[in-house]
């Protein structure tokens, strides 16, 4: 049982030796200018191709591919579903609204109940499923990913811009057809070929926007283009903040955050939608043994000056160059720094959004 449930982020980590982990960590945590294995700058994303509307049977679809061969396909399907009033929101006033048809016929009270339960929509109307080869659909990772996607989608564009009535309630508000019917959105994502969780993730998260935009355009064509949210995967290594990490980079991260942002209404500012910590796989790696403690190496090598120093980022005593699994959490200042890099004007979030807006959606 433990075998299947173990499939958290850790089980997808590449099998790197402690020495490799240590080497990666050291190069990524170099102050000021970290050296990434593929030579990118900390905020640089991998080149990416996006192709919308590839599946004729869906209401919106896209394929995204990275230069390294990772790709994912997303389809969005909308179905009409009857709105069932739930007991916890129903009371006399909603009831009278549900009887709106009767009332209208009798000519007594034909007003539409605006801003009430039925109009606000419901988060559960959006259903996200992510399929990653090698995972069962009820494993922790796909569940976690899809919940995260759904959360930021549903929460996106909600509130803030009350100026446009159409946008009230965000995405879920737009799913309302009338009091009795609503759309149910099925979003399916498939990782292919090289399904490392981080890559697939980045792919999927870029993809979602595409898919959703397509579907929303069809749902309510009068709405001015509203950009769906994006989720960025950010890691911190030492004192550095690194974007769009590859899976090797994630394997040594001190902290992994998924930060969802969206455009805040009409203005160009970015709005934070959600932050989630993700269990860094570095917590489950194998530790290395320093020479001073290594029985096999005793006497074989010259006594080295293995002096444990305090790693300022983790607060742990460490021997440089000797890999220790990460322990503990992350400092608040580190989180604040990571969020700031995303949100600030001209920051990474804006850059990514602009890049995505370049993808054509008819």
Partner 1 sequence: MSILNVFNSPTTFALATCVMADRRRINGPPGGTRPAIYATSLPSIKDADRARRQRQPSELRKIFLKTGLIPSASGSSYLEFEPSASLAAARANPKSLIPPSSALKLACTVHGPKPLPRSVAFSPNIVLTTHVKYAPFAARKRKGHIRDASERDLGVHLETALRGAIIAERWPKSGLDITITIIEAEDDRWWGDAPDSHDASWGMMNVLAGCINAASAAIADAHIDCLDLVSGGVAALVTDNDGGAPQLMLDTDPAEHRSIVSACVVGYMPARDEITALWLKGGTSKAALDEQDGRSGHEALVDGAVDAARGAHMVLGEAVKESMERALGQTT
Partner 2 sequence: MASATGAASHPVPPSLSLPPSQFARLQPHAYLLAHLSPPAASNQPSIRANGRASSQFRVTSANAGSLTHTNGSAVVRMGDTTSVCGVRAEILRTEDIASWSVSRTSNEASNKRRRLAELNEKPNEEDEDTAADDEEDRAHIEDLNLLVPNLSLSTGCAPGFTPGAPPSALAQSLSHQLLSLLHSTRLVRADDLRIWYQPPSLGPEELERHNDDEQMDVDPNPSGGVEDHKNREIKGFWVLYIDVMIISLAGNPFDAAWASVLAALRDTKLPRSWWDVDSEMILCSDNVSEASKLSLRGLPVASSFCVFEADAAAGWRAVVIPDAEEQKARSQKKGSQQRWILADPDGYEENLGQERICLVVDKEKGGKGKTVVLKMEKHGGWTVDTDDLRQLVDISARRWDEMKRILDQC
| Contact residues for partner 2, defined by CB under 8 A | 1, 5, 95, 98-99, 102
| Options 207, 252, 273, 348; binder of partner 1; rule CB under 8 A | 273
How many CB atoms are located within 10 Å of the residue 350 CB?
A: 18
DSSP string over 124-155:
GGEEEEEE-TTS-TTSHHHHHHHHHHHHHHHH
Write down the least CB distance from residue 160 to partner 2, Å: 33
> Per CB under 8 A, which of residues 194..223 are in contact with partner 1?
none
CA distances from 62 to 4, 77, 117, 215, 355 (A): 31, 12, 33, 11, 16
Distance, first Cα to last Cα, the chain: 48
| Options 283, 289, 294, 318; binder of partner 1; rule CB under 8 A | 283
Write down the least CB distance from residue 289 to partner 2, Å: 34
How many CB atoms are located within 10 Å of the residue 327 CB?
A: 11
Interface with partner 1, residue 57, by CB under 8 A = yes
Report what 73 binds from partner 1, partner 2, none; CB cut-off 5-8 Å by kind.
Answer: partner 1
Q: In the complex with partner 2, which residue's Cβ is closer, 144 or 323?
A: 144
The site map against partner 1 for 176-195 (x = CB under 8 A) is ----------x-x-x-x---
Q: In the complex with partner 1, which residue's Cβ is closer, 279 or 306?
A: 279
| Options 250, 330, 352, 353; binder of partner 1; rule CB under 8 A | 330
CA distances from 90 to 85, 95, 199 (A): 7, 7, 44
Report what 102 binds from partner 2, partner 1, none; CB cut-off 5-8 Å by kind.
Answer: partner 2
Q: In the complex with partner 2, which residue's Cβ is closer, 135 or 201?
A: 135
The site map against partner 1 for 2-41 (x = CB under 8 A) is xx-xx-x---------------------------------
Q: In the complex with partner 1, which residue's Cβ is closer, 20 or 44?
A: 20
Report what 61 binds from partner 1, partner 2, none; CB cut-off 5-8 Å by kind.
Answer: partner 1
Structure-block tokens of residue 300: 């074989």
Q: In the complex with partner 1, which residue's Cβ is closer, 192 or 357?
A: 192
Report what 62 binds from partner 1, partner 2, none; CB cut-off 5-8 Å by kind.
Answer: none
Rounded CA gap, 98 and 341, in Å? Answer: 48
CA distances from 179 to 112, 114, 176 (A): 9, 10, 8
Rounded CA gap, 71 and 92, in Å? Answer: 51
Structure-block tokens of residue 328: 């503990």
Report what 44 binds from partner 1, partner 2, none; CB cut-off 5-8 Å by kind.
Answer: none
| Options 105, 178, 220, 286; binder of partner 1; rule CB under 8 A | 286
Rounded CA gap, 290 and 324, in Å? Answer: 10
DSSP-derived secondary structure letter, 176 = B
How many CB atoms are located within 10 Å of the residue 94 CB?
A: 17
Nearest CA among 102, 81, 99 for reference residue 90? 99
| Options 200, 247, 271, 323; binder of partner 1; rule CB under 8 A | 271
In 109-225 the beta strands, taken as DSSP E runs, fall at 126-131, 181-192
Rounded CA gap, 76 and 55, in Å? Answer: 10
Q: In the complex with partner 1, which residue's Cβ is closer, 36 or 341?
A: 341
| Options 43, 129, 294, 311; binder of partner 1; rule CB under 8 A | 129
Q: In the complex with partner 1, which residue's Cβ is closer, 220 or 277?
A: 277
């Amino acid at each position: 049982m433990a075998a299947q449930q173990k499939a958290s982020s850790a089980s997808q980590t590449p099998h790197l030796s402690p020495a490799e982990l240590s080497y990666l960590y050291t190069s990524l945590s170099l102050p000021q200018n970290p050296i990434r294995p593929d030579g990118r700058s900390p905020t640089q994303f991998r080149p990416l191709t996006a192709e919308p509307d590839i599946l004729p049977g869906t209401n919106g679809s896209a394929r995204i591919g990275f230069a390294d061969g990772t790709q994912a396909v997303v389809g969005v399907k909308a179905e009409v579903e009857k709105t069932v009033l739930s007991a916890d929101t129903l009371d006399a006033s909603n009831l009278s609204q549900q009887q709106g048809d009767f009332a209208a016929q009798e000519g007594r009270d034909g007003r539409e109940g605006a801003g009430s339960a039925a109009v606000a929509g419901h988060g559960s109307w959006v259903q996200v499923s992510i399929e990653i080869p090698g995972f069962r659909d009820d494993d922790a990772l796909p569940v976690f990913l899809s919940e995260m996607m759904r959360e930021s989608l549903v929460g996106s564009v909600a509130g803030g811009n009350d100026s446009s009535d159409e946008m009230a309630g965000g995405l879920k508000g737009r799913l309302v057809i009338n009091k009795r019917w609503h759309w149910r959105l099925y979003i399916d994502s498939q990782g292919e070929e090289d399904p490392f969780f981080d890559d697939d993730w980045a792919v999927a998260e870029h993809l979602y926007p595409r898919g959703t935009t397509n579907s929303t355009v069809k749902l309510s064509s009068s709405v001015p283009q509203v950009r769906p949210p994006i989720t960025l995967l950010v890691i911190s290594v030492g004192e550095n903040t690194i974007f769009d990490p590859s899976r090797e980079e994630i394997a040594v991260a001190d902290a992994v955050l998924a930060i969802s942002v969206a455009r805040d209404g009409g203005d160009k500012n970015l709005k934070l939608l959600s932050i989630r910590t993700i269990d860094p796989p570095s917590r489950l790696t194998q530790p290395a043994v320093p020479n001073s403690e290594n029985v096999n190496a005793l006497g074989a090598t010259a006594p080295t000056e293995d002096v444990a120093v305090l790693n300022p980022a983790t607060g742990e005593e460490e021997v440089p160059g000797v890999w220790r699994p990460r322990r503990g959490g992350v400092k608040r200042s580190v989180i604040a720094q990571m969020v700031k890099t995303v949100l600030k004007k001209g920051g990474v979030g804006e850059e990514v959004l602009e890049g995505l807006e370049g993808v054509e959606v008819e």
